[in-house]
């Protein structure tokens, strides 16, 4: 079913390409947009995870560079019945994290150094279980493709507006300038709406799956409360520079409220926490696998260098 949703997403964003291309360049623009869309779709499927990680300035770490972080991901992956994903760290003080990859066999999880600095070991495990929930639900392909194509739509609209819509043999504009301006504004907005529709429902499902993986919904509930306070107070320069990746994160990394909150790609944090707290009262005690995650107390308070890499 998730692959079918991915196909629908690709079709929808391809249609956006064609509409923007025609609005900005007439028939020639339509042909160019079609070629670009086909190439972008192929690139997004095979390389969107690598692109997102590069856009986020993520660096891969292993058991030598980040033994505790790597060990938590390894324990949770075994508990979830998933292949071990690649582990990345992003040098940003905002506490946040995301998962990417076209399949569980090609998955990666990336955490900000701020997550390791500000959250306890149990809360970090709760966040990572959420991200592995995305992997288990096969969400990462659709969400990563959405990030890649939405960014491409924004660039297409911007460049099209800058270079104009083209002219006919008599030197007259092929497209009304008002239409071109409208395309520049509406195309990225439409892409954002698609991201919202994809991400909001999947965050709830990943919360549930993550709580089941860790065996402790209260770990994730506590982490979400700490994360939300952190994302409101601490800017994320990397995400601000690449807003098309915002829906990948466990909490919206972009600053701003008011009208911006109406277009948030994430569901209300209060509702997410309430659902997890309700789960905590109904789940049976966790097994020894989750107990191992509790060993060691809190996550060491580290900066960009230290046991987390």
pLDDT in tens, 270-296: 999 999 999 988 876 655 444 555 554
The residue ranges of every structural domain in the chain are 2-294
Q: For residue 22, give Cα distances in angstroms to 80, 174, 262, 278.
A: 46, 10, 29, 50
Residues in the chain with pLDDT values less than 50: 1, 162-163, 257-263, 288-290, 296-309
Tell me what pLDDT residue 263 has: 47
Separation between Cα atoms, residue 130 and residue 87, nearest integer Å:
15
Considering only CA atoms, which of 154, 114, 176 is closest in space to residue 241?
A: 154
Tell me what pLDDT residue 32 has: 74
Residue 77 three-state SS: helix
Q: Which helix (H) or strand (E) holds 29?
A: helix 2-55
- Please check whether residue 16 is in contact with residue 153, taking contact to mean a CB–CB distance below 8 angstroms: yes
Chain-wide mean pLDDT for the chain? 77
Tell me what pLDDT residue 300 has: 40
Q: Is 164 left (phi over 0), alpha (psi -120 to 50) or beta?
A: left
Go through 227-258 and write b for each residue having 16 or more CB atoms within 10 A of its CB, e for each that does not: bbebbeebebebbeebbbbbbbbbbbbbeeee
Catalytic residue annotation: 131
Considering only CA atoms, which of 190, 194, 188 is closest in space to residue 143?
A: 194
Residue with tokens 């900066």: 303
Tell me what pLDDT residue 299 has: 42
Tell me what pLDDT residue 285 has: 60
Tell me what pLDDT residue 288 has: 45
Tell me what pLDDT residue 30 has: 73
User: What secondary structure does DSSP assign to 266-298, as a single string?
Assistant: S--HHHHHHHHHHHHTTSPPP-HHHHHHHTT-S
Tens-digit pLDDT profile for residues 109-154: 999 999 999 999 999 999 999 999 999 988 877 766 666 666 666 6
Tell me what pLDDT residue 207 has: 95
Total number of residues shown for the chain: 309
Count CB-CB contacts under 10 A for residue 208.
Answer: 18
Sheet containing 86-90: which strands, arranged edge to edge?
58-61, 86-90, 108-112, 97-100
């Amino acid at each position: 079913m998730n692959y079918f949703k991915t196909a629908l997403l690709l079709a929808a964003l391809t249609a956006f390409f064609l509409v923007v291309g025609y609005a900005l360049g007439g028939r020639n623009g339509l042909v160019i947009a079609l070629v670009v869309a086909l190439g972008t779709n192929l690139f997004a499927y095979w390389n969107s995870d690598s692109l997102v990680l590069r856009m986020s300035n993520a660096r891969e770490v292993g058991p030598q560079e980040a033994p505790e972080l790597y060990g938590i991901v390894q324990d949770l992956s075994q508990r979830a019945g998933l292949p071990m994903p690649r582990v990345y760290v992003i040098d940003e003080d905002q506490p946040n994290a995301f998962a990417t990859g076209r399949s569980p066999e090609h998955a990666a999880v990336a955490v900000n150094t701020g997550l390791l600095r500000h959250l306890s070991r149990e809360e970090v495990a709760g966040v990572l279980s959420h991200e592995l929930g995305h992997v288990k639900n096969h969400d990462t392909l659709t969400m990563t493709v959405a990030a890649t194509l939405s960014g491409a739509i924004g660039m297409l609209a911007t460049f099209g507006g800058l270079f104009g819509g083209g002219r006919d043999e008599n030197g007259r504009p092929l497209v009304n300038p008002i239409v071109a301006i409208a395309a520049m504004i509406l195309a990225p907005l439409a892409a954002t709406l698609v991201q919202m529709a994809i991400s909001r429902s999947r965050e709830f499902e990943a919360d549930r799956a993550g709580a089941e993986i860790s065996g402790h919904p209260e770990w994730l509930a506590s982490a979400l409360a700490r994360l939300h306070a952190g994302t409101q107070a601490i800017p994320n320069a990397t995400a601000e520079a690449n807003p098309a990746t915002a829906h990948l994160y466990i909490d919206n990394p972009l600053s701003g409220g008011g009208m911006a909150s109406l277009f948030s790609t994430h569901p209300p944090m209060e509702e997410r926490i309430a659902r997890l707290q309700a789960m905590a009262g109904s789940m049976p005690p966790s097994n020894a696998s989750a107990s191992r995650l509790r060993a060691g107390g809190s996550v060491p308070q580290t900066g960009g260098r230290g046991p987390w890499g």
